[in-house]
Structure 1
């Protein structure tokens, strides 16, 4: 629906009347995108049902008997005037007190306005917000970016407000600012954060700030329980809801079909990295070791626990390959189709140490996974078709030079690499140091590619 509405906006600006056509479940998102693009008056005709679960004959009958007549009627009737479109409640003025009362009164008011994530929030009183702002030198009204679909400005003040609401501490403010700078980067594509796969942002924190602010990088690193990890993760989803406007039904601006819950922030175990002499995740991202860095990326699915052990490096590598392959599966088609794919391997420190004893470093691990993470071409094609990418064609991409010769061939069941290139695989050391467990996090192509920012801490 975002692409359809962008095309409709282009047509309208060229003086050509437009009608947007999409699935019925996308109408709310379409209207939100229409408002953000300045074309809220464009009619939307919804297909009655789910296109990819209807048989061809049913699809054609619905298009002929219901969709096509509705498109003609909309074009004949003409677009409604912009002023005829109902407007939503205006955002509160800066520093406005929106409600007074006890905790229950505040909670109910925020819930009624759609300003919570379904959980009670910490009331963002002027005093609490000021405490957060005291932890940055930046002007409260500084605009960090504009977030789609509701085209709302991301300001330093709004970061503080949502940080309070999420349960963060004032000293977390520099981390939160870095998170929002990542979200606001055009490369991150916040406009796709409400797409149907229902991916979630994952915040990775690397550097001295991990220990200084009490992030958990050990046992239960990805479980709620440590306030710093949990509150920073909750803040990220809450900010996307309240500022970007990505809300689940009845607002319908977030189209995650089933989706999942927010991730707590993942913290890197710096000591384990240093013991091995490996580069840190922040170094992999181009930063210095004395920097503290936030990276935000999308995660569309998480692997089962990957246990590895044995006498040789290959024993561990085989287990990691099998676990990552199971997690990624034919979803790898998205990376091959869109030219970007950044899975993340959270490697248990003990497993990393075992690999290092056998001479396997990060680059060797990436190279092994790049060679051995394989999937059949037919599975890729079928997955692409099921998602709606009916034009996906490996041979065409090889012919155009987008993919190398490893992806070509005549056998539909030939095995092809999942990662292209393998260097885009992220590796973070974290988790229980006394267990042989790792876990994979699968990223969603150009939507939510890893974006990093240095944390600017106040002295």
Structure 2
């Protein structure tokens, strides 16, 4: 038995079907529970919802029937480019943009760039409970407009997506969390990633098409479809892949993000992390390095999305992207990455009174139920400042963007899904030769 608000009924049915329980009974609360009083909620639960629970647990549902899916190499449609796109759009296999038809020939070109077998299963893609395979990665890579040589990156992304730590099965929730993909290593230059000015702007094939692949894979393999299992209130588009400016970090004595994840400098890795909201701290520059940090921290307090999950005893991992220009001022004045994190931890604070309504109630409930981080304290005083993360290491710091500007990007996580996951990008043995051949075409 599952309990649903009326706006989530279709999502509940589709999710249950994907999990192999198409006849799972449910009880419905009319409207949203956040918009009624406790008394109104109690009346609904004790009345119609209670009867629905009784019926759902005592009446045997009809036997479920499941339609099979085509095999890997089955040709499901033939036609012109326009006809293929119309067919894919009508069947919900496209997000509305033109797709590259995934022919057997194109798929096999992608598979050449990975040592993995096409039928290898990378994990179970939820909510549709579909096997995530190397083959399906290639299919969706073709459709998203990727180049065959991007395949090692795509496989690493799909592997990271399937990691239970990331929790991709929750990505159909109403905040519509998107994912920031971060790439490190020599593959950045090998594949032409942009990590300089306009690092998060469309216009660079690797950054853009791989970002589109993420959303395409969630749609076609995991099964997140708007008006069905994807219940994002407003939704959002895929995020452009972020490449780190590793040379800038190394030249100024900072470890790269990949090095902090335990990899050697230049080693090829991909990280995925939830990014429900992205905001800029514009023109934080100052001759005094500590003032720069204070300017960034002030913007963090404005962008307080991640705090409501933190004070419910959950972990949040904000992403902070700084430019080489900011990094230079910091390093010239002796600021290590660890020291910067410590400053963020101690000074990125939020005044409790800025929380309002239901969120403030959750804060007090967390105190009452003893499920809040220790450093938040137990005071009911709303005119006090509270920290925004549980420890300095919670901040992810990446160097990218315009080398000559003093802006910062801040990405806020969700708190219970999308924890950062990093995977090594596995290249074929003859990578250099294959890459040269692909470039010559």
The verdict on a shared fold, with TM-score over 0.5 as the criterion, is yes
Unaligned runs of 5+ in 1: 1-18
Tell whether 2:219 aligns with 1:219. no
Give the structure 2 partner of residue 16 of structure 1.
none
**Larger mean Cα displacement after TM superposition, 354-363 or 33-42:** 33-42
CA distance, structure 2, for counterparts of residue 260 and residue 276 of structure 1: 35
Alignment of 1:10-409 (within 5 A): 19-76=1-58, 78-83=59-64, 87=66, 90-249=68-227, 252-327=228-303, 329=304, 331-379=306-354, 382=357, 384=359, 392-394=365-367, 396-397=369-370, 403-409=373-379
Report if the CA contact (8 A) 2:157-2:272 is conserved: yes
Report if the CA contact (8 A) 1:224-1:230 is conserved: yes
Give the structure 2 partner of residue 426 of structure 1.
396
CA-atom RMSD in angstroms: 2.0
Give the structure 2 partner of residue 6 of structure 1.
none
CA distance, structure 2, for counterparts of residue 126 and residue 432 of structure 1: 40
Report if the CA contact (8 A) 2:281-2:296 is conserved: no
Q: Deviations over 1:211-251 (max 9, x none)?
A: 111000011111111111000100011101111111111xx
How far the C-alpha of 1:91 sits from its partner, in A, is: 2.4
Q: Normalization by structure 2: what TM-score?
A: 0.92
How far the C-alpha of 1:193 sits from its partner, in A, is: 1.3
How far the C-alpha of 1:448 sits from its partner, in A, is: 0.7
In the alignment of these two chains, the number of paired residues is 429
Unaligned runs of 5+ in 2: 431-441
How far the C-alpha of 1:315 sits from its partner, in A, is: 2.0
Change in Cα spacing, 1:70 to 1:230, as seen in structure 2 (3 Å) is same
CA distance, structure 2, for counterparts of residue 56 and residue 35 of structure 1: 32
CA distance, structure 2, for counterparts of residue 383 and residue 307 of structure 1: 34
CA distance, structure 1, for counterparts of residue 177 and residue 188 of structure 2: 25
Tell whether 2:419 aligns with 1:454. no
CA distance, structure 2, for counterparts of residue 405 and residue 54 of structure 1: 33
Q: Normalization by structure 1: what TM-score?
A: 0.88
Report if the CA contact (8 A) 1:330-1:375 is conserved: no
